[in-house]
Copies of this chain bind each other. A is one copy, B any other.
Amino acid sequence: MALGKDYGQQDCALARTLELVGERWTLLIVRDAFYGVRRYSDFLAHLDIPRAVLSGRLQTLVEADVLEKRRYQESPPREEYVLTERGVDLWPIIRSMARWGEKHVQNGVACRLYRHHGCGGTVDPTGLCAVCARVVGPAETEVAPGPGANMLQRQDAVTLAMRRPHRLLEPLLP
């Protein structure tokens, strides 16, 4: 959302969450962070988001302790944004929203498939592995392109790198 960001009169945890991740673009930034995107320029290229909006959202997410900004090289100074523990806990939200869109907008065609790293079992939207029958967190989840992927012929570095399966939270690009 984003205009007045607050829902002051709602005594509900949902409203508090929406004040943080309910703004336009925010959840897509967090999703990309799960995919392993860490650098400003990669978010920018993959999301087609105005630079000022990206700067603002990253700063808000850092202040909310969802992302951590850290310098990974001096000279030239370069920063990266990595999910914190609080940020990783947003995974069920992203997963449930993607699930709804898959079922009700895309007629069940998934753009991404999730598997348990190691055992290879399909991970369902609640995080349950079909083989282990255990709940699998994002760090042990592997994402791979699904049948509906790449409909839009994007050519940015992030889109290209997403064609290979890889584990969530691991850096996607060098």
Which candidate, A1-9, A73-81, A166-174, is the interface stretch facing chain B? A1-9
Q: B96 contacts A92, CB within 8 Å?
A: yes
A93 touches B100 (CB 8 A): yes
Residue numbers in B under 8 Å from A99 (CB-CB): 13, 92
Taken together, the copies of this chain in the complex come to 2
Within 8 Å by CB of A98, from B1, B17, B97, B112, lies: B17
Residue A117 at the B interface, CB < 8 A?
Answer: no
Closest chain B CB from A35 CB (angstroms): 10
Chain B residues, CB < 8 A from A28: 7, 10, 12, 14-15, 18
Residues of B within 8 A of A148 (CB): 11, 13
Residue pair A13, B48 in contact (C-beta under 8 Å): no
Chain B residue nearest to A135 (CB atoms) is: B126
How many residues in A have their beta carbons less than 8 Å from beta carbons of B? 55
Establish whether residues B93 and A12, one from each chain, have CB atoms under 8 Å apart when the complex forms: no
A25 to B97, CA, bound (A): 16
Q: Which B residues are in CB contact (< 8 Å) with A39?
A: none
A11 to B98, CA, bound (A): 11
Interface status of A52 (Cβ within 8 A of chain B): no
Contact of A103 among B1, B89, B111, B126 (CB under 8 A): B89
Check: A55 CB closer than 8 A to any chain B CB.
no
Q: Does A133 contact B (CB under 8 A)?
A: no
| CB <8 Å contact, B92 and A12 | no
Cβ contacts under 8 Å, A9 to chain B? 47-48, 152, 154
B14–A22 contact, CB under 8 A?
no
Question: Which of A1-54 touch B at CB < 8 Å?
Answer: 1-3, 7, 9-18, 20-25, 27-28, 31, 47-48
